[in-house]
Structure 1
Amino acid sequence: MSKVNVVCPHCLKINAIPVKDSYSKANCGSCKKSLLDTTPIELNEINFDHIIVNSEIPVIVDFWAPWCGPCKMFAPIFTQVAQKYPLKALFVKVNTEVEQTLSRKFSIMSIPTLIVYKNGIEKKRVSGALDPLRLSNLVNESL
């Protein structure tokens, strides 16, 4: 059976899990918490590369800021759509106000900006808030 590496959303340890169409249960080998948690993870300069490089599932990064109106409107959509992709895609957020080095590194010029990574490589970039259907389509293109 083939396996895929996923990063635990709780302790950030790498887990090799069997590839399945759906999962009823999957726990981290280290912290024992559920790998099915779809709550977007807040990334920073310390853990960003670890997550992007070690996730073999697509990583959807939302670059946002707390003062940004469209970012505030988009946040619940991002969280809602994430719930549809447990162990299929990892949804993460980067606060550009706090993580200015990451913003510069990835040339974030407007927010929200979404970047889709697969196997550590940027595959797609979209600026502006998306509705649930467009965000789902973006994720589905990357699976």
Structure 2
Amino acid sequence: MRLTCPHCQTRNVVPEAAAGLDPSCEHCGKTLLSGEVVELCETNFDAVVAGSDLPILVDFWAPWSGPARMMTPQLKQAARQLKGRALLVRINSDTSPHLARRYAIASIPTLTQLRGGQEVQRINGPLQAPEILAWMQ
């Protein structure tokens, strides 16, 4: 499968069997699928999304939003459970307003699911980790 490193934007090819085994970027050596939520921004979002064969869950959030902040531990738990099967990323809509506009984000938090770079579904409002996992199915 193809994965683009969120740190250096290098495209990597990872055998599917190795997806859950902490594969590293061939260029910078950082872990590609750590089971953690990855912070992205306008400068690296498109490269990471376009270069990934995995489904991507995007959390559009803002630091001033209580419900968005409350979702942080839930997203972390979901990311650990989806390790190697999906990539969870966060976009701060305050520091990446062009992405928020591009995806027509009207409320925070908003979760969008991307497959092949295209949005396939979205949901607004805070979710618990089991709800996130079920929604990703």
Q: Under a length normalisation based on structure 1, what TM-score does the superposition of the two structures give? A: 0.87
Does the aligned pair in 2 maintain the 1:40–1:92 contact within 8 Å?
Answer: yes
2:90 alignment partner, SS class? strand
Matched residue count: 137
Task: Call closer, same or farther: CA 1:88–1:34 in 2, change over 3 Å.
Answer: same
Supply the RMSD in Å over aligned alpha carbons.
1.6
Q: Which amino acid aligns with 1:55?
A: S
Unaligned runs of 5+ in 1: none
Alignment partner for residue 123 of structure 2, among 121, 126, 142? 126
Per-residue displacement from partner, 1:41-81 (whole Å, max 9, x unpaired)?
22211111111111110111000000101001101111111
Partners in 1 of 2:24 and 2:36 — Cα distance?
A: 15
Q: What is the CA distance between 1:25 and its match in structure 2?
A: 4.5
Does the aligned pair in 1 maintain the 2:22–2:34 contact within 8 Å?
Answer: no
Q: What is the CA distance between 1:33 and its match in structure 2?
A: 2.5
Partners in 1 of 2:41 and 2:19 — Cα distance?
A: 30
Q: What is the CA distance between 1:84 and its match in structure 2?
A: 1.3
Unaligned runs of 5+ in 2: none
Partners in 1 of 2:59 and 2:88 — Cα distance?
A: 8
Indicate yes or no: 2:31 matched with 1:34.
Answer: yes
Indicate yes or no: 2:96 matched with 1:102.
Answer: no
Indicate yes or no: 2:16 matched with 1:24.
Answer: no
Q: What is the CA distance between 1:104 and its match in structure 2?
A: 1.1
Does the aligned pair in 1 maintain the 2:36–2:79 contact within 8 Å?
Answer: yes
Partners in 2 of 1:22 and 1:12 — Cα distance?
A: 18
Q: Under a length normalisation based on structure 2, what TM-score does the superposition of the two structures give? A: 0.91
Partners in 2 of 1:42 and 1:11 — Cα distance?
A: 13
Task: Call closer, same or farther: CA 1:22–1:34 in 2, change over 3 Å.
Answer: closer
Partners in 1 of 2:19 and 2:45 — Cα distance?
A: 27
Partners in 2 of 1:26 and 1:117 — Cα distance?
A: 22
Alignment partner for residue 60 of structure 2, among 54, 58, 63? 63
